[in-house]
Structure 1
Amino acid sequence: MPDANDLERLFTRSDGSFVFARWGRAIAPVAFGVEEATLPAIKGAVEAVGHLTGHPVAETDPELGSNLMFFFVRDWDELGEVPGLDRLIPDLASLVGRLKDADANQYRVFRFDAAPDGGPGAIKAAFVLLRMDEHLSQAPAGALALGQAVQVALLWSDTAFAEAPPLVAGPGGAMLRPDVANVLRAAYDPVLPQSGRDPSLALRLAARMGRPQ
């Protein structure tokens, strides 16, 4: 089971800053660029994470309509053709250029509500960008969707899953790693703040790991 140091690393970014955030509103997902038959897998993955954490999943968000958007493309340049996406994702053209230069196949963008101190607070919206290269195209839809749903459920460090992905092979297909599942449950404990930048928050997370749900 992860200890406080392990948990601190999960939310400490490569620049050394500790940043924790979870969703502060019901998650309302939508997907673009996939066949209709794939939509239940995406919604099911988000609902599975919602059930695990006890966080609600809704059809719509009163302010944004949909606040968790999945975009599936064959080439990053296709993002520039999505109407209005440049208003949702600042500097979209620059981001597309960086993704192409890095030969990336996935990226996640977050927006946040304001915290009482004026800084970033709880997650307000997230955009999952997926370039369906050979690797992602071979992944089962359910596993791909679950992996992404887990990675937008919290503001994980950019290095959190660099050594091991959040899913492992199970008897019925890909499944969530037990340690990651425990972190998700603990992170959504109502006693904890929705966001924080003090590494001591990892101690409070550790105290809630393994508690009966």
Structure 2
Amino acid sequence: MDAAEVERFFTRSDGSYLFARWGRPIAPIVFGVEDATLAVVKGALEAVCAMAGHHMAETDPELGTNVMMFFFRDWNELLHVPDLDRLIDGLAPLVAKLSAAEANQYRVFRFDEAGAIKACFVFLRMDDVMSSQPAETLALSQVVQSVLLWSDTAFTDRSPLGQLEDGRVVLRPEIGALIRAAYDPVMPAMADDPAHALRLSARIQVAHGGAN
């Protein structure tokens, strides 16, 4: 993956470049699913964090939990979640906007003083498209999209996941390599200069060369 390809993943639709990774261990909680699905989601988080060299925790000392994932059937259900309007600014107009757009997913990030991710809220409306996906596929896709601050257009043309010949769905190798490079300790937790993509590309090439 060259620098231009890397840059595309973090260049937003308004033309600005913005990258961020988690600056603290991830402490998740999942609402609206059965225990079996909860285990799948946490398993996906554990797998991606292990691949990235990042950590998970039972609790976040500041927030308690810092990844909140909501599964529901109708956007208006969010208006009845206790105290959610205190966590998400402008919740009511956001719900109205997402309902009107018939959206089936949305993510809200919060950042610390250094610009690193400190919290992520993942909202999934289980419409026919979402409900048709295996739990493992849905969980892995959402975790990948929550582990970095990707561009709002990063995966509009192509999913971060791929399918093996035996039918299993896995993370595309180039996306995995990009996540590992992003979590390299020598890399910054936040960047808004496109030159950052050059450094990411260089880390990927070094890692690829070292694997051969």
RMSD of aligned residue pairs (Cα, Å) = 1.0
By how many angstroms is 1:101 displaced? 1.3
C-alpha displacement of 1:114: 1.2
Kindly report which structure 2 residues correspond to 1:121-200, keeping only aligned pairs within 5 A, or say none: 121-170=115-164, 171=166, 173-200=168-195
2:35 corresponds to: 36
Task: Give the ranges of 4+ consecutive aligned residues of structure 1 lying more than 4 Å apart after TM superposition.
Answer: none
Following superposition, the deviation at residue 172 of structure 1 comes to 5.1
The one-letter amino acid paired with 1:156 is W
1:209 counterpart residue number: 204
Runs of 5+ unmatched residues, structure 1: 116-120
Distance 1:172 1:56, change over 3 A: farther
Alignment partners' CA distance in 1, 2:63 and 2:172: 32
Q: Which SS does the other structure have where 2:112 is aligned?
A: strand
Query: Mapping of 1:74-153 within 5 angstroms?
Result: 74-115=73-114, 121-153=115-147
In the superposition, the TM-score normalised over structure 1's length comes to 0.95
Counterparts of 2:200 and 2:145, CA distance in 1: 18
Q: Which amino acid aligns with 2:45?
A: V
Give aligned-pair identity as a percent: 61
5+ long unaligned stretches in structure 2: none
TM-score scaled by length of structure 2: 0.95
Q: Distance in 1 between matches of 2:159 and 2:88?
A: 26
Counterpart of 2:108, as a letter, is V
How far apart in 1 are the matches of 2:152 and 2:97? 16
1:160-208 Cα deviation digits (max 9, x unpaired): 0011011111225210001100100000000000001011000000100
Give me the whole-angstrom Cα distance separating, in 1, the residues matched to 2:83 and 2:167: 39
Partners of 1:109 and 1:159 in 2: CA distance: 15
Q: Which amino acid aligns with 1:61?
A: D
User: Residue 51 of structure 1 corresponds to which residue in structure 2?
Assistant: 50
Q: Which residue is equivalent to 1:118?
A: none
Alpha-carbon distance between aligned partners in 1 of 2:30 and 2:179, rounded to the nearest angstrom: 23
Aligned partners of 1:78, 1:35: CA distance in 2, in Å? 18
Letter in 1 for 2:184: D
Q: Find out whether 1:8 has 2:2 as its counterpart.
A: no
What is the CA distance between 1:78 and its match in structure 2?
Answer: 0.2
CA-CA distance at 1:23 after TM superposition: 0.1
Provide the rounded CA distance (Å) in 2 between the counterparts of 1:148 and 1:187. Answer: 18
